[in-house]
Amino acid sequence: MQKRNLGNQGLEVSAIGLGCMGMSFSYAPFPPKEDSISLIRKAVELGITFFDTAEVYGPYNNEEIVGQALQPFKNEVIIATKFGFNIQEGKMMGVDSRPETIRRAVEGSLKRLGVECIDLLYQHRVDPKVPIEDVAGTVRDLIKEGKVKYFGLSEAGANTIKKAHAIQPVSALQSEYSLWTRQHETEIMPTIEQLGIGFVPFSPLGKGFLTGTIDEKKEFAASDIRAIIPRYSSDARVANQALVDVIAKFAETKNATNSQIALAWILAQKPWIVPIPGTTKIHRLIENNGAAGIQFSPEELSELTAASEKVKIVGTRYTEAMEAATGI
Ligand SMILES: NC(=O)c1ccc[n+]([C@@H]2O[C@H](COP(=O)([O-])OP(=O)(O)OC[C@H]3O[C@@H](n4cnc5c(N)ncnc54)[C@H](OP(=O)(O)O)[C@@H]3O)[C@@H](O)[C@H]2O)c1
């Protein structure tokens, strides 16, 4: 697997990472812990060196799974985690990036991951009550103390990114980006390109929809976030199938699968982008990794982009309440 750099501070990771959230959060039902550990270790074997988790996934047990799985590979891989929520009795009670909360989260993450230093620490969501300078300053101090190596933000706006970067250089922005979620192209991506910040697209497969394996009849468990996301209503899925059809057509001509085309399209946008598709299945992990070997000619890339832009995506990516509270 080729490597890519995120930011200008020396962070180098595999061109495709592994999102571990779905192993214990958002996409119930979850696989047994041992299966997730085997899958993460298989990813290492396949050349993946970039693993994504967060304090709030579970909460807490996702970091334990990732930490346990990667214990034998501690110095060979990059583990990214996130702080930024007030978690009470296992429930997410809104954003919280007060310095004392960041410090408490970091101590917990270090313990659960079983590491002495967090490779990449993101603020999970911007906290409007805490100046971003205070957040960046706290992470800068944690870096000085040797508890954190690199700083990241998630779903932050351009001004927030600039203000944070001025206090502590940001290595990566993690925000949603895929063939059906492209709003960050107008302002955010040019901003981070100018500042030399890497981009880590989350939900690069549209939470599974772009792979063509989810039709309008598929039912999600009540606790699966996709049961309530507008873009995943049955009507929206019928309309949005047109995008899956576009991807499938390209997949056929490139002798690839939908997921590989969706990921290869992201990789082809910029050399400083590293998608982190999530899966709980080894055969899909292998399939997704195959995207790193797919090249588009400039004509193919423009054709795919243009064809996908013709599809009007129905439904928002989150409910309004989710967007307001957390965005997750
Ligand atoms: N910063 C944030 O706020 C934020 C928000 C969301 C996610 N994330 C991170 O980003 C990572 C990835 O995002 P995501 O998990 O939301 O979405 P995703 O990677 O777009 O899609 C994951 C879904 O696609 C399915 N899938 C994966 N590969 C497939 C394939 N080849 N064929 C068919 N289905 C496939 C998975 O199901 P199976 O497990 O059944 O394969 C899973 O349900 C997460 O794990 C998390 O670490 C961050």
Residue spans of the domains in the chain: they are 3-209+262-295
For residue 1, the 8-state DSSP code is -
Angle at which helix 258-269 crosses helix 282-289, to 10 degrees, equals 40
Give the tens place of pLDDT for each residue, 17-67.
Answer: 999 999 999 999 999 999 999 999 999 999 999 999 999 999 999 999 999
- Relative to the CA of 213, which ligand 1 atom is closest? 33
CB atoms within 10 A of CB 187: 12
- What is the predicted pLDDT for the residue at 45? 98
For residue 267, give the nearest of 195, 199, 184 by alpha carbon. Answer: 199
pLDDT tens-digit readout, 112-160 = 999 999 999 999 999 999 999 999 999 999 999 999 999 999 999 999 9
Residue bearing tokens 């989810």: 214
Locate 306 and state its tokens. 């243009």
Pocket test residue of 97, 281, 286 for ligand 1, highest count of atoms within 8 A of CB: 281
Class of 3-209+262-295 per CATH?
Answer: alpha beta
The DSSP secondary-structure symbol of 23 reads G
Here the tokens at position 303 are 């054709």
Q: What angle do CA 88, 122, 326 make, to 5 degrees?
A: 45
Compute the distance between CA of residue 130 and CA of residue 127 in angstroms, rounded to an integer: 6
Pocket flag, ligand 1, residue 226 (CB < 6 Å): no
Catalytic residue, candidates 27, 57, 150, 177:
57
Phi, psi (degrees; rounded to nearest 5) at 11: -80, 115
- Ligand 1 near 205 CB (within 6 A): yes
Q: What is the pLDDT of residues 274-323, one digit of tens each?
A: 999 999 999 999 999 999 999 999 999 999 999 999 999 999 999 988 88
Q: Is-contact 48 16, C-beta < 8 A?
A: yes
| Closest residue to atom 34 of ligand 1, CA basis | 208
**Residue 57 falls in the annotated catalytic set:** yes
pTM for the full predicted model: 0.98
**Ligand 1 close to Cβ of residue 177 (< 6 A):** no
Q: Is the CB of 259 under 6 A from ligand 1?
A: yes
Residue 2 sits at φ, ψ, to 5 deg, of -65, 165
pLDDT-derived band at 325, boundaries 50, 70, 90:
low
Give Cα separations from 269 to 127, 199, 214, 252 (angstroms). 30, 11, 26, 21
Residue keyed to tokens 């063509």: 212
